[in-house]
Chain A
Amino acid sequence: MDDRPGYTTFSSLERQSTVAPPGFNRFLVPPAALAVHLSIGQVYAFSTFTLPLTRVIGITHRAPADWDLKEIGWVFSIAIAILGLSAAVFGRWVERAGPRKSMFTAALCFGGGFIVSAFGIHLHQLWLLYLGYGVLGGCGLGIGYISPVSTLIKWFPDRPGMATGIAIMGFGGGALIAAPLSVLLMAHFKTAASNGVLETFVTMGVIYFMFMMIGVYAAREPAADWKPAGWIAPAQPKRLVTTADVAVDTAWRTPQFWLLWVVLCMNVTAGIGVLGQASPMIQEIFTGRVPPAAAAGFVGLISLFDMAGRFFWATASDYIGRRNTYMVFFLLGILLYSTIPTIGQLGSIPLFVAAFCVILSMYGGGFAAIPAYLRDIFGNHQVAAIHGRLLTAWSVAGVLGPLLVNHIRQYQIDHGVPRAQAHSFTMYIMCGLLLIGFLCNYAMRPVDEKYHYRGGTQS
């Protein structure tokens, strides 16, 4: 079995081939995870394709035979739904297959999804877009998202939050790369006969496959008895950090799993709703003072804080503890959301921007600290698989958040509330959601010993 660099043969994809030799530098592993997450994070920038995909035939305008916005909107929705579903379904396989094989599969699915979609654009068959980017790409998203989790936790038992935070920061950063890259590529490929979206899909499929292969190439598992030099596991572990393991099929029967599920769901719902409405929200609250270009800048800025928060809060959780970190998210979140209406009335744009930057940093932090929280509660054994199942909370929040924010805003406007004040009630609803999250996090206790994994047939 050849495991020399560059010899990524099929046999070297197996878990046993990825065990690192003695003296291997563990800081080679985070870039592998980052390569995968930076790629799949592209999904957050899918909206850059929305308009061009409605002008495939008309090129400069929408022809009657072109797809409409609603039809294209489903591509993104399918991809996100399949992300949660595939992470939940393939989690155990990812644990068995190891990081390299699962990253390779994710690269094939995600890159392949673009190519199948390009065929769909070429043949003008919408179902190929749903199948390609939606289903195949969605599987790449789900498998890719959880593939480096348990490997990173094994390499960094002393700093699991920081390690998984680096990877999940990549998912936030993926959109920051993909949005300008898509615009550049479409402009480059644009001709009189094409708006460039087909060629961009093919190019991005190839680029992302190759970039994810950096992760496949660099991924290594530590030897079973490996420990960081000089690190000794604490003799007296903290109350909410277990030394036992819980298997995935047992984990989701415990109250702790569902408490964490609600914690993640509430944190994501509160953030994702305002993230989707950030541009109209700032324009409506500060009527006439924030032009659309500046509002786009606001969206970019809070996306940056979302990304930075993933690293910052996940790293902080290694020092202050996972439960305390989420306590900060919920309490500070309630405080900030409840002051937004007052800030709006005061007319202070800098204060408004600062508040949302902190809120969105905690939204990202919620995603990034959850794998380490799962490790603390359920142990290392099948943490990626458990993480996969917990991501269904993201799928639910992805529907619930925008639905709540859009519906409440529209209801307020329909009932005569001025647009500038239509968001105030939404902020108080967000406080309510965060309070539910706070209570669930407060109720977190160690898993009962009867659920502990004692070896056997489960793998």
Chain B
Amino acid sequence: MKARLIILWVAVGAPMVWGVIKTLEDALKLFH
């Protein structure tokens, strides 16, 4: 059950983290 929980959260969380990082990269241009 614990492994399934981790796999599920990673599966949906990883694309979200990728999207957040990509957006932050753009957002940093505001302060350059």
Quick one: which of A16-37 are within 8 Å of B by CB?
A: 23-25, 27-28, 31-32, 34-35
- Check A297 against B28 for contact (C-beta < 8 Å): yes
How long is the Cα–Cα vector from A369 to B9 in the complex, in angstroms?
A: 22
- Check B27 against A176 for contact (C-beta < 8 Å): no
> In the complex, which residues of chain B have a beta carbon less than 8 angstroms from the beta carbon of A180?
18-19, 22-23
- Check B19 against A28 for contact (C-beta < 8 Å): no
> In the complex, which residues of chain A have a beta carbon less than 8 angstroms from the beta carbon of B13?
31, 34
How long is the Cα–Cα vector from A218 to B23 in the complex, in angstroms?
A: 28
> In the complex, which residues of chain A have a beta carbon less than 8 angstroms from the beta carbon of B15?
38, 177, 211
> In the complex, which residues of chain A have a beta carbon less than 8 angstroms from the beta carbon of B1?
23-25, 28
Query: How many residues of B are counted as interface, with CB atoms below 8 angstroms from the partner's CB atoms?
Result: 24
> In the complex, which residues of chain B have a beta carbon less than 8 angstroms from the beta carbon of A293?
29
How long is the Cα–Cα vector from A218 to B24 in the complex, in angstroms?
A: 30
- Check B29 against A297 for contact (C-beta < 8 Å): yes
How long is the Cα–Cα vector from A171 to B11 in the complex, in angstroms?
A: 16
- Check B29 against A177 for contact (C-beta < 8 Å): no
Is A440 close to B, CB under 8 A? Answer: no
> In the complex, which residues of chain B have a beta carbon less than 8 angstroms from the beta carbon of A307?
20
Is A418 close to B, CB under 8 A? Answer: no
Is A304 close to B, CB under 8 A? Answer: yes
Is A228 close to B, CB under 8 A? Answer: no
Nearest first, the 9 A-B pairs at minimum CB distance are A176-B19, A177-B19, A297-B30, A301-B27, A297-B29, A300-B23, A180-B22, A31-B8, A300-B26
Residues of A within 8 A of B (CB): 5, 23-25, 27-28, 31-32, 34-35, 38, 170, 173, 176-181, 211, 214, 218, 290, 293-298, 300-301, 303-304, 307, 353
Residues of B within 8 A of A (CB): 1-2, 4-5, 8-9, 11-13, 15-16, 18-20, 22-24, 26-32
